Amino acid sequence: MPWDVVAKILFMLLVVMAAILPVITWIERKQSAVMQDRIGANRADIGGLTVLGLFHPLADVAKLFAKEDFVPAGANRFMHLLAPVISIVPAIVTLAIVPFGGLYVFGDSHWNLVIADLDWGLLYVFAVGSLATYGAVIAGWASNNNWSLLGSLRASAQMISYEVTMGLSVVGIFMVFGTLKLTDMSFAQDTTFRLLGFIEHFGWVDELPAFLSWIQLPTWGIFLQPLGFIMFLTAIMAENKRPPFDAPEGESEIVSGYHLEYSGMRFGLFYTAEFLEIPVIGMIVTTLFLGGWSIPFVPQETLIAAIGGVFGEGLATGLCMIAHVSVFFVKVIVMIWLQMTIRWTLPRFRYDQVMDLCWKIILPLSLANVFVTGFAILVVRSVV
């Protein structure tokens, strides 16, 4: 394996699993506390130091390691052990196709900040993400518990249903950018477009007035496919089974759902998978709809040229790379905040409401979005 691939793997694992993941439970506790006018987690301490409650994630890990690893009578021990692993692996391997930066040239070497630059990158996301369904289903079946089985049935129906709508909701993005490759989508969004520029092609005016011509937007997916953004975010959050889509767990209805019979670090793997999905969702949404690593109104070439006049092209390229990576993770943090806000704002949907939202609302809207997008592309191509 080339050293640059190893370096990118280590970077993603260190940033996501060693930096973001350990504090994300603290972020959820603190954000919910702020929203509910509470103090939040602040009791765990080391030597009297609480550090704003940051020791609570360490206390959680210590508690999970100390708990008894219990397997109920009649359970399938091998499957019971395998299910949590199946649940967490898809979230980890999805990081391989996320472009956290662009393509940078240093002399004869080219740095492409993505671990695996696949031509069919987004299909890889769907394929790998669908494997998590098996983890929930196997966990409920292998536990030999009726409540667990009911939770796994809910999980399988919900996740398979929302996989359909999740795929259809981003067809418009495929059509607009003309690619499934996530790096190409990111590069395509590192540009701007005039909001009213299309008027010139209809013959109404020869040229837009100056006061209208300057109105520009980044060529981000959220501006080209706003409905697709809402539908995709809804569907991918439902795939993660977090509130308000936590019917498969449903503590007040089915005790704890598909992981009812799990304890210790086996439950900890389910817990970790759920929270690891939050930044992964943020990365996928950022790449598709928020321009990825791009800085609004400042293309990569412009930024390097501006800095290069002072520091030289090599150092300018390095500074540009650092800026792009930083901007990418700032956008991911914003998406984490948004997911937490939704989680602590909306109550849990009833199970019938979850399925109705998928099949009766999002599915028809996603199909309509495909037809409207196709019609718009045909109109634009015919007049340009």
* Tens of pLDDT, residue by residue, the chain (384 residues): 577 788 888 888 888 877 888 888 888 888 888 888 888 788 888 888 888 888 888 888 888 888 878 888 888 888 888 899 888 888 889 989 999 988 888 877 888 889 888 888 889 999 998 888 888 889 888 888 888 888 888 888 899 899 999 999 999 998 999 999 999 999 999 988 877 666 666 666 667 776 667 778 899 999 999 999 999 999 999 998 888 898 888 777 777 778 888 888 888 888 888 888 999 999 999 999 999 999 998 899 988 888 887 778 888 898 999 999 999 999 999 999 999 999 989 888 888 999 999 999 999 999 999 999 999 888 877 766
The DSSP 8-state label assigned to residue 361 in this structure reads I
Per-residue confidence (pLDDT) for residue 338, from 0 to 100 = 94
Q: How far is Cα 290 from Cα 327, in angstroms, rounded to an integer?
A: 11
Tokens representing 257 are 């759902």
As to burial, measured by CB atoms within 10 angstroms (0-12 exposed, 13-18 middle, 19+ buried), residue 368 is exposed
Residues 169-216 have pLDDT tens digits of 999 998 999 999 999 999 999 988 877 666 666 666 667 776 667 778
- What's at 337, amino acid-wise? W
Is the pTM higher than 0.95? The answer reads no
- Classify 119 as helix, strand or coil: coil
- Across the chain, mean pLDDT equals 86
Rounded to the nearest 10°, the torsion over CA 350, 356, 361, 362 is 80
Instruction: Parse the chain into domains and list their residue ranges.
Output: 68-383
